[in-house]
Amino acid sequence: MYQKAMRLYRLALGPVLLLLSSIGSSAWAQGPTEWRHPNQVNMPVGVTEVSAQIHSIHMTVFWICVAIGVAVFSTMFYSILVHRKSRGYKPSHFHESTKLEIAWTIVPFIILIVMAVPATSTIIAIYDTEDADLDILVTGYQWKWKYEYIDPAGENISFFSSMSTTPEEIAGTAPKGENYLIEVDEPVVIPVNKKVRFLLTANDVIHAWWVPEFGIKKDAIPGFINEAWARPLKTGFYRGQCAELCGRDHGFMPVVVSVVEQEEYDSWLTAKKEEAAQIKELMAKHFTLPELVQQGQQIYNRVCVACHGPNGEGGIGNALAKSAIVTGALDETLDTVVHGVPGTAMQAFGGQLNDVELAAVTTYIRNSFGNNMGDMTQPVDVFNFKKGQ
């Protein structure tokens, strides 16, 4: 019986160790960009120095724990197999040993110090946000990210980055793409080999900005700014997700960072700035009612529909059809859309949409769902409204 049990025990130990070592080794086997693949079992080594350090601490602590586990469990299994009543083993009655107890207090303590040393130096490195080459203000919104490139010359550019996976893919009526749920309409672009500082904040609730391959996870807290930084050493797309429960679509708020060569970054930036200039031009333009309504509908269906329903019938938000505010004075509607309603889910869209978009959506809601105001809001009206406040 005993012999058989011991043999079983040894037999079992083999696969367990094998499994453990496969967890350990798989990380080294993969290059960083292939990290996101099915059946991945370990943390990425990543593409920054910090992420590699984190990975190495992780592995060290992991193996220490495995070693302690093996020691503790093999002692236990030895007793289980040998010191059993069915083998006629008579119990001894010792129940104290000061030496032993001191030993197993001190040894773990020392082991913990061994763990704490590299952890301390890594965290000091992570907190060193000085001397960045580029600052990006990242703002979490329900449920998208806004990136604002802080330009020393004051010409900041900014854009929103939302998930681009379609509702059909999620519902299963369309095949799911390769980057299902971790793809965005517009990734944040940064140059390789540069220290990029991220200033994180949020507009509504707490979000967390997580890019595993950078070793960054930091909360974005409304009203506060947190700092994080990365110096990616390799180009490529790096994907992550919002890591703090932030409401309904918390699971649909990916982060995608595109790390590119400096030249590519520069031309991207120039293009962005031109785009911004174009929008500025549009601001001065006078639109026709159908133009505004048509554009407004698109914005409505992208931004507002979640709360106000496809036909303005309401939901989380009030009904817009026949609403006193929407069918009242124009200023009142604008006020609601631009500044939101204090203390409710109705956000201030003044900072989220540009003046063209605000004008369009305002015009749209005043001329749809049975609302028949017939009036128009031009971008310049929005501009003046904002200034007048």
Partner 1 sequence: MAEQTTPGHEPYYVPERSKLAIMAALGLFLSVFGAATFINSNSGKFSDAGGGGWLLTIGIAVFIAVLFSWFRTTIIENRAGMNSAQVRRSYVLGMQWFIFSEVMFFAVFFGSLYYVRVHVGPWLSGAGEKGVTTLLWSGFNFEWPLMQTPQEAVGGVANQMMANNGVFTGPERNLAFPGFKEMFAWLPLWNTVILLSSSFTVHVAHHALKADQRKKFTTWLLITVALGFIFVALQAVEYYEAYHHYGLKLSSGIYGTTFFMLTGFHGVHVIIGATMLLVQLLRTFKGHFTAEDHFGFEAASWYWHFVDVVWVGLFLFVYIL
Partner 2 sequence: MDAHAHHGPAKGLTRWLFTTNHKDIGTMYMWFSFAMFILGGAFAMIIRAELFQPGLQMVNPEFFNQMLTLHGLVMVFGAIMPAFVGLANYMIPMMIGAPDMALPRMNNWSFWILPFAFAMLVSTLFMEGGSPNFGWTFYAPLSTTYAPPSVTFFIFSIHIMGMSSIMGAINIIATVINMRAPGMTYMKMPMFVWTWLITAFLLVAVMPVLAGAVTMMLMDIHFGTSFFSAAGGGDPVLFQHVFWFFGHPEVYIVILPAFGVVSQIIPTFARKPLFGYDSMVYATASIAFLSFLVWAHHMFTVGMPIAGELFFMYATLLIAVPTGVKVFNWVTTMFRGSMTFETPMLFCIGFIILFTIGGFTGVMLAIAPADFQYHDSYFVVAHFHYVMVAGAVFSMTAAIYYWLPKWTGKMYDETLGKTQFWIAFIGFNLAFFPQHFLGLAGMPRRIPDYALQFTNFNMLSSIGAFIYGGAQVLLGFNVIRTIVAGKPVNDPKVWDGAQGLEWTLPTPAPYHTFTTPPEVK
Q: Rule CB under 8 A: which of 223-242 touch partner 1?
A: 223-227
Q: Does residue 337 interact with ligand HEC by CB under 6 A?
A: yes
Binding mask 112-151 for ligand HEA (x = CB under 6 A): x---------------------------------------
Q: Are 138 and 224 in contact (CB under 8 A)?
A: no
Residue among 108, 222, 247, 315 that touches ligand HEA (CB under 6 A): 108
For ligand CUA, the closer of residues 139 and 235 by Cβ is: 139
Q: Does residue 111 interact with ligand HEA by CB under 6 A?
A: yes
For ligand HEA, the closer of residues 226 and 354 by Cβ is: 226
Q: Does residue 102 interact with ligand HEA by CB under 6 A?
A: no
Please give the residues from 312 up to 331 whose contact with ligand HEC meets the rule CB under 6 A: 316-318, 320, 323-326
Report the greatest alpha carbon distance in the chain.
97
Please give the residues from 315 up to 344 whose contact with partner 1 meets the rule CB under 8 A: 338-343
Nearest by Cα to 344 from 382, 298, 377, 308: 308
The kind and range of the H/E element at 140 are strand 134-141
How are beta strands 216-220 and 188-191 bridged, if at all?
unpaired
Q: Are 234 and 47 in contact (CB under 8 A)?
A: yes
* DSSP codes of every residue in 87-152: GTPPP------HHHHHHHHHHHHHHHHHHHHHHHHHHHHHT---S-SEEEEEEEETTEEEEEEEPT
Q: Does residue 381 interact with ligand CUA by CB under 6 A?
A: no
112 interface partner picked from ligand HEA, ligand CUA, ligand HEC, none, CB below 5 to 8 A per type: ligand HEA
Please give the residues from 251 up to 310 whose contact with partner 1 meets the rule CB under 8 A: none
Q: Are 232 and 190 in contact (CB under 8 A)?
A: yes
Please give the residues from 197 up to 226 whose contact with partner 1 meets the rule CB under 8 A: 199, 201-204, 222-226
For partner 2, the closer of residues 93 and 286 by Cβ is: 93
Q: Does residue 45 interact with ligand HEC by CB under 6 A?
A: no
Please give the residues from 313 up to 372 whose contact with ligand CUA meets the rule CB under 6 A: none
Burial class (CB in 10 A: 0-12, 13-18, 19+), 335: middle
Rounded to 5 degrees, what are φ and ψ at 334?
-60, -45
Q: Are 133 and 195 in contact (CB under 8 A)?
A: yes
Alpha-carbon distance 164 to 182, whole Å?
8
Rounded to 5 degrees, what are φ and ψ at 45?
-70, -30
Q: Does residue 308 interact with ligand HEC by CB under 6 A?
A: yes
Binding mask 126-155 for partner 1 (x = CB under 8 A): -------------x----------------
Q: Does residue 246 interact with ligand CUA by CB under 6 A?
A: yes
CA angle centred on 153, ends 151 and 159, rounded to 5°: 35
Beta bridge partners of 161: 145
Q: Give the count of beta carbons closer than 10 Å to the beta carbon of residue 283.
A: 16
Which residues have C-beta within 8 Å of that of residue 355, sequence separation ≥ 6?
Answer: 283, 379, 380, 382, 383, 386
Nearest by Cα to 129 from 208, 51, 228: 228
Give the nearest distance from C-beta 327 to ligand HEC in angstroms: 9
Interacting residue ranges for ligand HEA, rule: CB under 6 A:
65, 68, 72, 108, 111-112
Which residues of this protein are in contact with ligand HEC, per CB under 6 A?
Answer: 303-304, 306-308, 316-318, 320, 323-326, 333, 336-337, 341, 344-346, 349, 361, 365
Q: Which residues form the interface with ligand CUA (CB under 6 A)? A: 140, 143, 207, 242, 244-246, 250, 253
Interface with partner 1 (CB under 8 A):
139, 199, 201-204, 222-227, 338-343, 347-348, 350-351, 389
